Structure 1
Amino acid sequence: MFGIRLMFLLAVMGGIIAYIADKLGSKIGKKKLSVFGLRPHDTSVLLTVLSGILISLFSVGILAISSESARTALFGMEKLQKELFRLTAEKSTAEDEYNKAMAALKEKNAAIADLDVKIKETDAAKSAAEKNLLAANNSLDEVRGQYKATQGALVNAKNEVQSLTEARDRLNEEIKGLQKETDALQQGLAYMRGGQMMYRSGEVVFAGIIHTGTEEENRNQMSWLMEGANTSAMNRIGLAPSSRAEIVWTQREEYDRLLKLLGKAKGNNVLVRVRSLANTVVGQPVLCGLEVIPNKLIYKNGTKIHQKVIDMNDVKTPPDQAFMLFLQEINQISVKAGIMPDPMTGKVGNMNAVTMVDTVTKMQRMGGRIRLTAFADGNITTAGPVELRLKLEKVSGKEE
């Protein structure tokens, strides 16, 4: 109804303005009036044009006054477009955050399922131990009855009772151990359901090379080492360094023990690794131990670490699998040579995925029998990592 009334009002207003313009034009034509020095005919045309302009202006003005939507369309369209772009960007960001949250939820549910399986296995072992204990108690009761009934077999009965008693004690100890394990798993499950795992037992929180010197220098480097470990832990859970949270803890005896070792190794370089002593979830302090290892030079720059001939025609071992076996052999050789591996993965270094793909591609292009040689790319010490420079050579049929 509002639109019909508005159209009617515009039509009436246009008609009135046209009527007035027509009357003025007629009078000007009859009286031959002139405006701005124009001829009467030109003056009449000018009046007609002005009447059309007035009709348009009044139409737009009435639309703007009578309808907020019209005002928005006339004067606020650019603002609406900017707002639409902003809302679209916010929607995209919210969808990304939602996808990340769903991925984290899936990982946490998988960990919870693993712990549930372990708890069920522990409960089953506990039930079996309790059944064994019940059977042992029943046997003990039978032996005691036989003891009362048969005095002649007293010595044998006493030995049997003692044996069963010891078996019962052992079973009680097993039940206690299983109960502790069950409690630990249930506590771990509770932590996993309430928060995410931060460090696993034995995982390296931070590692650094200390150049031993005076006691004051050693203390300063120890402070740097512990601050580095604390910063690394804060970075893992997304805490800003400005928060100054003390996450990594170590026992005072462990700290003093390390200072004594550094004092004895004066003038040498040592590798110190800060390792978690237990599984830790976010919100718990990370209790760490300190591991000291002499940092010796294992491979000089350019030293040949490993060499192997690979037959690209061997259908049993694809090129990518053969290359991975070659890297695993280098890892084993490096560990035997004295390079410290990561305690969680057992690896002494990581090769760039692009380098791996390029190497396998070159091997496939060369074909036939290939001699693959790995050299140390820079000096490599006990601390690692093992950086490699690879060389590929075509091998003739007689060469090895």
Structure 2
Amino acid sequence: MRVVVVGAGIVGAACARELARAGLVVTVLDRGGPAAGTTAHGEGNVLVSDKGPGPELELAKLSRRLWPEILDGLPEPAGVEWDAKGGIVVATTADGAGALEEFAAAQREAGVTAEPLDAAALAAAEPHLTRDAALAVHYPDDAQVQPSGAATALLADALRHGAGLRTGCELLGVRTESPRREGSRLTGVRTSQGVIDADLVVNAAGPWSGETAARLGAPIDVRPRRGEVLVTAPLPPTVFHKVYDADYVGAVGSGSQDLQTSSVVESTRAGTILIGSSRRRVGFDDRIRPFVLAELARKALRLYPRLAGVQVMRAYGGFRPYVPDHLPVIGPDPRLPGLWHATGHEGAGIGLSAGTARLLRELVTGTAPSLDPEPFRADRPAVLGADATEGAA
């Protein structure tokens, strides 16, 4: 079977790797280069802490189990910078503590390890964290990768297993059985580098998946959602886990177009500190807004007062693929046989890429799926929403 994967970010790379390892003939195409879009503008989170019980948490648990297995099979995994550092969620108010306690209890029922920390344990784990914490919960399964390095490693493994890569190659449209009719199957894609024959096309174009699907004649409601991150100059060891305010879960789950911010602080192996997180829907406007950065800094100082006066080395932003019901889209599109989607992960694509790719491979090859694929189906109402319907070809 000939497969075209549209998108060379981490989700596309993971899908290409799984399909190539399954013996399919895979071509990855991207109008830029590998990991040059959303993947290059993330923090590399592999999280279970921020997901309540439900399908996305099950996908996160599958991905968390798969990541170490995948890395063990890579010949040169050093660039991935896997760090099973664990996460700590902190509530700084009584109301926040109540909500966090309830959230963590529900996660424990779903099989997530979520350990409350008393003041002494929290101080030992994060000595520079504010002492004004009403509740802190430790998630030992949270981890981090270097996102571009991880995507490159996955893509390199796909190439080792026979996949091809076309960069600077823009998808223009679909080629189908002639004439095009209801139920007509795709036979390839038209690109800026000519026609590529395919039996199956995987739309893994991240925030551009809506546009990609529209060019293929089967629009889906995937929109860009903007986020920014501050990066400090290298510091002595200051932050030892991924630490974030309990407000983060609410910001992730919000569907508001307006700015949503919460404090997320973590270190990198280079000693820099990454400070997030923001979410706002502004289309593909890529301008960095100082007021957003100021809000990130203000909230970070609430958790880590010691960061006051630390030099900020740079700031960057990127777009996440947002779906109104906050669930990824994984599986076949019944409107166009041969079209499949692997997108809509918003800010969780790095962590969820491993499970997404495994589930996609299982569905494509007809093997028993590792989890129920039904919640991620491409024809659910949120995916075929008003925006997608209005843009249908």
TM-score by length of 1: 0.16
TM-score by length of 2: 0.16
Larger helix share, 1 or 2:
1
Larger strand share, 1 or 2:
2
